[in-house]
Amino acid sequence: MSVPPRGLLVATPMRFEASLISRAAPGLAVRRTGIGPRRSWRAAAYLQNAEPSGMLVVMGFAGGLEPGARAGEVVIAQELRGPRGERVPCTGAELLARALADSGVEVRRGVIACAPRPALGRARARLREEGAIAADMESLWLAQGARGAFGVVRVIADGPGGAMWHPAQGLARFRQARAALRASAAALASWERAERLAG
């Protein structure tokens, strides 16, 4: 049995994401931060002081930007990009991706675009053209709460033609994404240990 991470905090926007993560990794410190930039920005102040180690991972579902995006794909952000040209590197990306892969979770690394509202139609295509492979509405702003190692794990819940925020429209997609989120959460203890050894 793996030892629950100590000093690692998970920030996740939605209640059911927090519930899935907590059940998959008992003992993990999980903070529901709310949907969208405004709530995420407010939550960042709390996150800065929540754990002595300052280790933070943002985790939850996201929209896939590529035509072949499939539900359940796990994306590790190497960099976050914002609507005003902001670029935030994810310092824990390499060890995080390795920890999940070693635990049997198939991952992709790439750019995650962060938008103030759901990216649809031409907006989603533009983000893809700019090099992003997934999109969310929180990670860039939650990153302000990181004082140490920082990572972002997002599970694709829909593709360009899907509707991530209506899981009932694609129950099979939702189940795949849910299983991937659980598996990723269960692997976080390995990342916490790897970061401590590296530090």
Please report where in the chains the tokens 């860039």 appear, as a residue.
Answer: 140
The pLDDT value given to residue 51: 56
Question: By residue range, what is the domain housing residue 185?
Answer: 8-198
- CATH code where residue 149 lies: 3.40.50.1580
* Count: domains in the chain: 1
The pLDDT value given to residue 7: 75
The pLDDT profile of the chain, 199 residues, written as one tens digit per residue, is 333 344 789 999 999 999 999 999 998 899 999 999 999 999 998 887 765 557 899 999 999 998 888 889 999 999 999 999 999 999 999 999 999 999 999 999 999 999 999 888 888 889 999 999 999 999 999 999 998 899 999 999 886 655 444 555 577 888 899 999 999 999 998 898 888 777 6
The pLDDT value given to residue 169: 56
- The greatest distance separating any two alpha carbons of the chain, rounded to the nearest whole angstrom, comes to 46
Q: How far apart are CA 37 and CA 45, in angstroms?
A: 13
The pLDDT value given to residue 22: 96
Residue 1 domain-assigned (yes or no): no
Residue 3 domain-assigned (yes or no): no
Residue 2 domain-assigned (yes or no): no
Positive or negative, the CA dihedral 16, 181, 186, 111 is negative
